Structure 1
Amino acid sequence: MSLRVYNTLTKQKEGFVPLEPGKVKMYVCGVTPYNHPHIGNARPFITWDVIKRYLEYSGYKVTHVQNFTDVDDKIIKAANKEGVSWDAIAARYIQGYFEVMDRLHVRRADVYPTVSGHMAEIITMVKTLIENGFAYVVDGDVYYQVESFPGYGKLSGRNLEDMKAGARVEVDTRKKHPMDFALWKSAKPGEPAWESPWGAGRPGWHIECSAMSKKYLGHSFDFHGGGSDLIFPHHENEIAQSEASAGVEEPFVRYWLHNGFITVNEEKMSKSLDNFFLVKDILAHYPAEVLRYFIVATHYRSPLDFSDERLTEAARSLERLRTAVENLRQMESMAGGGCTPAGDKLRESAIQAKRSFVEAMDDDFNTALAVSVLFGLAKEINIYQSSVVAGTEIPDVDALRQAKEAYYSVMDILGILVAEREGRGKEEEAAGVVEGLMELIIALRQDARQKKDWPTADKIRDSLAALGIVIEDSAQGSRWKQK
């Protein structure tokens, strides 16, 4: 079976045919860096990390672009609250993003464009939309005219007239239609602004992704991903902007993939409900590999309920998979023998596991089924190990090699048990824990300093000094070292 994916645009599974043979181009909507990433952010980035790994495993050359929305109302608000510049806030939380995603073994995208770094491309696209009759200027603001684009609503399945009748936003009489959206916003006091043909201002939210994806991936590309909450209006507006500005018949995106929502104890995640969990806080209580496993063990389109109980269950499941790794290692160290019926069975299990894994992933990247395949192979490895330990079997070197190759390749694509697969010792694992704890302590101290809670910040520094750990502060941040 070849790869089939569920396309949000067509509302059905479709066979994947890349725009260019052997190549895949994909764009994933990134974070707005006004705070540390939360659990809802972690899901799409882990999901697309697995998708990219599998596509590369399948032989494709992948170009992966993921943006940072570093010019935004929330960033400006956070900057004004702290009395710092907007770009200082963005830089801080972009760094915070990489810190937690590195711990979750999310491999880096090929390009991480920022809004502030692509003003020329954004302004050019807005000018094109105006010239082509899809946008209009009002008092230094530029709006996209949704009625000018016949396909508006095709991704979300919404009807423009129904949206107009049900619009709850305050009516702006300057707009030609209530659903017209801003491409460029005129400058306001105390906000960052860039010069444009319509006066000083900054981009609207949606135009950024259209301009940046075009620069790095062209008018049309294979995959566009993000959370289900982005289908409307963000991705709907991206289609309208991109296809209207391109002037070609090719679709902006061939396959739209959206991950499901995360709930917390079966309630929708919300700051107002106080169930809005930052990844760095979760990782202070659970190993990063547990959180990653928790996410990949569910199909990306399915809803995912977050709770302590489910993370604890994920930790137990991961331990079962780890046991099979340890058993493989133990058997590798023993003297090998020739083929036996038990060895033949393990060898066939490994071959079947790889086949079943590919079938699962080819079915819309079904990681839940892929994980069950992994458990099936783990069971066969453990059964074989029991026979070896009991002395009824001498390890079949070739069977063990094939079992290990299959087991490790699946785990590599899922991105789990990295330390175990790389053969790290307990001391190295402990060093990683210490590094993570120090990052947490430094972050807590930095939060205290930003709140001008000097007694707490000094107490953390002095307590660490008493343990022989020195904190060095600089304009680039804080770092630690042992005396």
Structure 2
Amino acid sequence: MTLRFYDSASAHVRDFAPLREGKVSLYYCGATVQGEPHIGHVRSALAFDQLTRWLQVSGYGVTVIRNVTDIDDKILLKAAENNEPWWALAYRFEQAFQDAYNALGILKPTYEPRATGHIPEMHALIAQLIERGHAYPALDESGDVYFDVRSWKKYGSLTNQNIDDMQAAPDADPRGKRDPRDFALWKGFKDGEPETAKWESPWGAGRPGWHLECSAMVTKYLGTEFDIHGGGLDLRFPHHENEMAQSQAAGHGFANYWMHNGMVTFEGEKMSKSIGNTVNPREMLELARPLVVRYYLGQAHYRSVLDYRPGSLTEAAAAVERIETFVQAALFRLFPGGDFGYIGTRPDAFGAAMDDDLNIPAALAVLHETVRAGNTALAAGDTATVQESFLAVMGMTDALGINPVDAQWSRGQGAEAELNALDVLVKARLEARALARTQKNWIESDAIRDNLSAAGVEIADSADGSTWSLKK
């Protein structure tokens, strides 16, 4: 089946055809490092991590760029409130984002450029736009430079809006603009701002505008035309609309596909700090294991709203444990000696779901149906079907980044957490053994005991049931 993605620019699902055969160039907007990440930020990164993994599984070489906006009005404001250097605040929160990405197994991008490292590229893009008649220095001698939205006839095409219906751009004093909707490409230095937050330019000392930063960085690493531009749905306007306009006005082809992930809500309501219903990754990771949090954040279709509510992580944990229990039971059955290796497979139905605009819910349905079939085969002693199911589960969970035997999910968890996870898995096998004994299926009962013993687990039976310990 051909890969198909929903393209926000055309508002249609389109067959995917990369610009270069066998290679995909992907850019998605990373963090503006003004504060701690919230789960909306992480959900976006996870959506594009799932896309990257599936493209790789599909045989493509993928170059991924995820930027860091480390100079911005909000960063300067927060730093002033905290009485700390803006660059120290930005770096501190950049590390908080990295910690969240790492904890949830989000692949590192090929390059992760910072805005402050690409000022010359931004100057060059502004000069191109001025030369082509699409930008102008501010009329009030403030040192600002603006994009002239009315000079670009396609402005508004990404979000299908008419210029006259748009709100004014709130990024600078409108007195220096030809039109209140014109947005800042360069912001002149103002009295009271940190001296370290300005760079010299042909239009005076200042700093770049937010929209300009992304266009300059993506073309630096992916060229003037690339395959996919992604980000959260809240970035479509004005950020992505402005990115597309300024880049195309400069003569660049820019993105061939635009992909946007949906928002995260709290019990049906938009998350807001003012009403206290926000949740950040650190809080979620205190409630559940990283694998469970990743499963939860990645289980919905990327374009849909993901609603967080009390009990969400409990439900996700139950789903993950069903997968883990089958995998461990299959390992005991197929590799009683403990050493194992595998080449995962993926059912056609799973591939069809993923090819159809990353239909994760349909793909997970195939995964869980395969787990059920594997458990049935375990109970029936059907080793051939157990093996087939095991390899399929391994292949599917690898593609989704949720393989329970991946070292990612035990790394840094500590001996106590590892022992708790082992306890869940062994008790599941003991329950299966107890059922086999009740049914007088002594062959199955003895096989479970022997497999556990071969894996270093000692069983003690008593009138109160069975307990286990690790062999000394």
Structure 2 matches for 1:84-233, cutoff 5 A?
84-138=84-138, 139=141, 140-163=143-166, 167=168, 172-188=174-190, 189-191=192-194, 192-233=197-238
- Say if 2:25 is the partner of 1:2: no
Q: Which residue of 1 aligns with 2:365?
A: 372
Give the secondary-structure state (helix, strand or coil) at the position aligned to 1:408: helix
**How far apart, CA to CA, are the structure 2 residues paired with 1:190 and 1:366?**
47
Contact 2:28 2:230 (C-alpha < 8 Å) held by counterparts: yes
Alpha-carbon distance change, 145 to 320 in structure 1, aligned in 2, over 3 angstroms: same
Contact 2:374 2:390 (C-alpha < 8 Å) held by counterparts: no
Q: Which residue of 1 aligns with 2:352?
A: 359
Normalised TM-score (structure 2): 0.82
Unpaired runs of 5+ residues, structure 2, are 338-343, 419-472
- Say if 2:391 is the partner of 1:405: yes
Q: Which residue of 1 aligns with 2:448?
A: none
**How far apart, CA to CA, are the structure 2 residues paired with 1:205 and 1:168?**
12
Unpaired runs of 5+ residues, structure 1, are 336-349, 435-483
Q: Which residue of 2 aligns with 1:319?
A: 321
Contact 1:225 1:258 (C-alpha < 8 Å) held by counterparts: yes
Structure 2 matches for 1:328-339, cutoff 5 A?
328-333=330-335
Structure 2 matches for 1:400-479, cutoff 5 A?
400-418=386-404, 420-422=405-407, 429-431=413-415
**How far apart, CA to CA, are the structure 2 residues paired with 1:432 and 1:145?**
60
Using the aligned pairs only, state the percent identity. Answer: 41
Give the secondary-structure state (helix, strand or coil) at the position aligned to 1:255: strand
**How far apart, CA to CA, are the structure 2 residues paired with 1:110 and 1:407?**
28
Q: Which residue of 1 aligns with 2:262?
A: 260
Alpha-carbon distance change, 168 to 128 in structure 1, aligned in 2, over 3 angstroms: closer
Contact 1:259 1:300 (C-alpha < 8 Å) held by counterparts: yes
**How far apart, CA to CA, are the structure 1 residues paired with 2:27 and 2:416?**
31
Alpha-carbon distance change, 133 to 110 in structure 1, aligned in 2, over 3 angstroms: same
Contact 1:325 1:421 (C-alpha < 8 Å) held by counterparts: no
Q: Which residue of 2 aligns with 1:285?
A: 287
The AA in structure 2 aligned to 1:102 is N
- How many residue pairs are counted as aligned between the two chains? 405
Give the secondary-structure state (helix, strand or coil) at the position aligned to 2:175: coil
1:330 deviates by: 1.8
The AA in structure 1 aligned to 2:215 is S
1:253 deviates by: 0.7
RMSD: 2.1
The AA in structure 1 aligned to 2:232 is G
1:284 deviates by: 1.5
1:403 deviates by: 2.8
Give the secondary-structure state (helix, strand or coil) at the position aligned to 1:357: helix
**How far apart, CA to CA, are the structure 2 residues paired with 1:25 and 1:279?**
28
1:145 deviates by: 0.2
Give the secondary-structure state (helix, strand or coil) at the position aligned to 2:120: helix
Give the secondary-structure state (helix, strand or coil) at the position aligned to 1:371: helix
Q: Which residue of 1 aligns with 2:422?
A: none
**How far apart, CA to CA, are the structure 1 residues paired with 2:347 and 2:402?**
17
Contact 1:408 1:421 (C-alpha < 8 Å) held by counterparts: no
The AA in structure 2 aligned to 1:159 is N
**How far apart, CA to CA, are the structure 1 residues paired with 2:388 and 2:363?**
18
Contact 1:167 1:178 (C-alpha < 8 Å) held by counterparts: yes
Contact 2:8 2:259 (C-alpha < 8 Å) held by counterparts: yes
Alpha-carbon distance change, 428 to 162 in structure 1, aligned in 2, over 3 angstroms: closer
**How far apart, CA to CA, are the structure 1 residues paired with 2:49 and 2:370?**
23
The AA in structure 1 aligned to 2:305 is P
The AA in structure 1 aligned to 2:393 is Y
1:430 deviates by: 3.2
